[in-house]
């Protein structure tokens, strides 16, 4: 008996916005989406801890080329910081290291909390959590910690644009702060919780985290992973690139020449730099271009895509694993 013929992989391209559930890793979301989209070429922009929920941006097929530009965008989070205890992972999944007396936590003045938050707002130097995904001599920091190593990562500059206290609630000898944070890429919200608690002398850690925005993409437009329909959710390459960059509309000849690697005349008033999204007359993304000395040149090309997979394509079950 002949084996059933395998369905050809799809080349449909674009970005997909996922609302990642708690307990799933970014790798889990990629694995499930690979099956749903019928392609191996799926990547993500910016990991979320298994404990965290919220926005995860996936690139499919040639649109994985856009992820490089998505990773560095600013991000917004809603989080709960628990004051009164420090943990080994700076979040609720770690071992409790220290606990402040309940009366000390209860005596925290609102002004002191506000001042602590203000001290962690703006351009700051932050030491990433030891259980981060940062590589130390080729190995992830969190893997070294799990192997019993003492990992101390160097501090690095990050920008916390907004650090807003939404509410404050006493809970069983602790003080839970609901906060909203807007920050640069590479900022660790767990580290903000740790440093806020340390600055107040009571310890602190993160108990919940939800990412609500990455650059121009918001959680309101994301699909729950268990109800993901890739064909319906796919943001096409031209649409995605036009949200990320200024747009350069091309005529047929310009599109042909740019796709062949030739330089074309830049529009009047164009300022040197880029990228810009180069779009042909049919609304297809030719590539990303940059302006130099009155000309536009391609820096990333995008091949034509097949039509997206059928919306009727059945969903498949997912598995599980880990990333930080």
Residue 292: exposure state from Cβ atoms within 10 A (0-12, 13-18, ≥19): middle
Looking at the fold, whether 188 and 222 belong to one and the same domain comes out as no
For residue 148, the model assigns a pLDDT of 61
Domain annotation covers residue 194? yes
Please report whether residue 48 resides in a domain: yes
Run of H or E including 191: helix 189-199
Is 240 within the bounds of a domain? no
* pLDDT score of 109: 95
Domain identity same for 270 and 285 = yes
> Is the domain of 79 the same as that of 175?
yes
Number of domains composing the chain: 3
Q: Is residue 4 part of a domain?
A: no
| Position 9 in a domain | no
Q: Is 91 a catalytic residue?
A: no
- How far is C-alpha 65 from the chain's CA centre? 15
Q: For 23-37, what is the mean pLDDT?
A: 92
Which residue, among 123, 7, 13, has the nearest Cα to 66 in the 3D structure?
Answer: 13
Give residues with Cβ within 8 angstroms of 126, minimum separation 6: 155, 156, 157, 158, 187, 188, 191, 192, 195
Q: CB of 258 within 8 A of CB of 290?
A: no
Give the pLDDT band of residue 221 (cuts 50, 70, 90): very high
134 or 41, which is more confident? 41
Residue 257 has pLDDT above 80, yes or no: yes
Share of the chain above pLDDT 70, in %: 84
Ranking 148-157, 189-198, 308-317 by mean pLDDT, the lowest is 308-317
Return all residues near 1 (Cβ < 8 A) that are at least 6 apart.
none
Query: Of 204, 233, 262, which residue is a domain's last?
Result: 233
Based on the domain organization, do 92 and 65 belong to the same domain?
Answer: no
Q: How far apart are CA 318 and CA 324, in angstroms?
A: 19
Range of the domain at 119: 75-214
Per-residue pLDDT tens digits for 288-305:
999 999 999 999 998 876
Same domain, 24 and 107: no
Tokens 């995008």 — which residue? 302
> Is the model's pLDDT at 246 over the cut of 80?
yes
Coil, helix or strand at residue 322: coil
| Residue 311 forms part of a structural domain | no
**Residue 194 — pLDDT band, cuts 50, 70, 90?**
very high
Residue 100 predicted with pLDDT over 50: yes
What is the average pLDDT across 37-54? 90
Confidence of residue 319 (pLDDT cuts 50, 70, 90): very low
Residue 303: count of CB within 10 angstroms of its CB: 13
CB 86, CB 205: distance < 8 Å: yes
Strand partners of residue 168: 177
Q: How confident is the model at residue 87 (pLDDT cuts 50, 70, 90)?
A: very high
State the pLDDT at residue 149.
Answer: 60
What is the reported pLDDT for 198? 97
- Is 49 a domain residue? yes
> Look-up: residue for tokens 């609720």?
92
- Same domain for 280 and 187: no
- Mean pLDDT for the chain overall: 87
Q: What is the layout of strands, in order, in the sheet containing 285-292?
A: 246-249, 273-279, 285-292, 295-301, 264-265
Do 199 and 223 sit in the same domain of this protein? no
The answer as to whether 252 is a domain residue is yes
Candidates 19, 49, 90, 195; catalytic one: 49
**Helix, strand, coil percent content, the chain, rounded in steps of 5:** 25, 35, 40
- Rounded to two decimals, the pTM is 0.86
Task: Calculate mean pLDDT across residues 265-285.
Answer: 94
Token pair recorded at residue 108: 């925290």
Average pLDDT estimate for 76-105:
95
Domain with residue 159: its CATH number is 3.30.2350.10
Mean pLDDT of 276-297: 95
CATH number for 261: 2.30.130.10
pLDDT at 3 over 70: no
């Amino acid at each position: 008996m002949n084996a059933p013929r395998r369905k050809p992989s799809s080349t449909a391209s674009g970005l997909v916005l996922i609302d990642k559930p708690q307990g799933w890793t970014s790798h889990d979301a990629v694995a499930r989406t690979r099956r749903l989209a019928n392609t191996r070429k799926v990547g993500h922009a910016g990991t979320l801890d298994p404990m965290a929920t919220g926005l995860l941006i996936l690139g499919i097929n040639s649109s994985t080329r856009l992820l490089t530009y998505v990773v560095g965008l600013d991000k917004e989070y809603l989080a709960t910081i628990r004051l009164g205890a420090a943990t080994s992972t700076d979040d609720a999944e770690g071992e409790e290291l220290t606990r402040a007396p309940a009366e000390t936590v209860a005596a925290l003045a609102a002004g002191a909390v506000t001042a602590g938050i203000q001290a962690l707002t703006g351009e700051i130097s932050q030491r990433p959590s030891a259980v981060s995904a940062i590589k130390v001599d080729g190995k992830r920091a969190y893997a070294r910690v799990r192997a019993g190593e003492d990992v101390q990562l160097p501090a690095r500059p990050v920008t916390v644009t907004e650090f807003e206290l939404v509410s404050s609630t006493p809970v069983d000898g602790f003080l839970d702060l609901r906060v909203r944070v807007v920050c640069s890429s590479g900022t660790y919200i767990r580290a903000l919780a740790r440093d806020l608690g340390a600055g107040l002398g009571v310890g602190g850690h993160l108990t919940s985290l939800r990412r609500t925005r990455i650059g121009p993409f918001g959680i309101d437009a994301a699909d729950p992973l268990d109800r993901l329909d890739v064909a319906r959710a796919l943001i096409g390459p031209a649409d995605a690139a036009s949200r990320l960059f200024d747009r350069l509309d091309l005529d047929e000849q310009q599109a042909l020449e740019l796709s062949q690697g030739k330089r074309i005349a830049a529009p009047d008033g164009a300022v040197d730099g880029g990228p810009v999204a180069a779009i042909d007359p049919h609304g297809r993304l030719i590539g990303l271009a940059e302006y130099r000395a009155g000309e536009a040149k391609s820096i990333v090309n995008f091949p034509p895509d097949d039509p997206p997979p059928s919306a009727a394509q059945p969903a498949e079950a997912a598995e599980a694993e880990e990333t930080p």
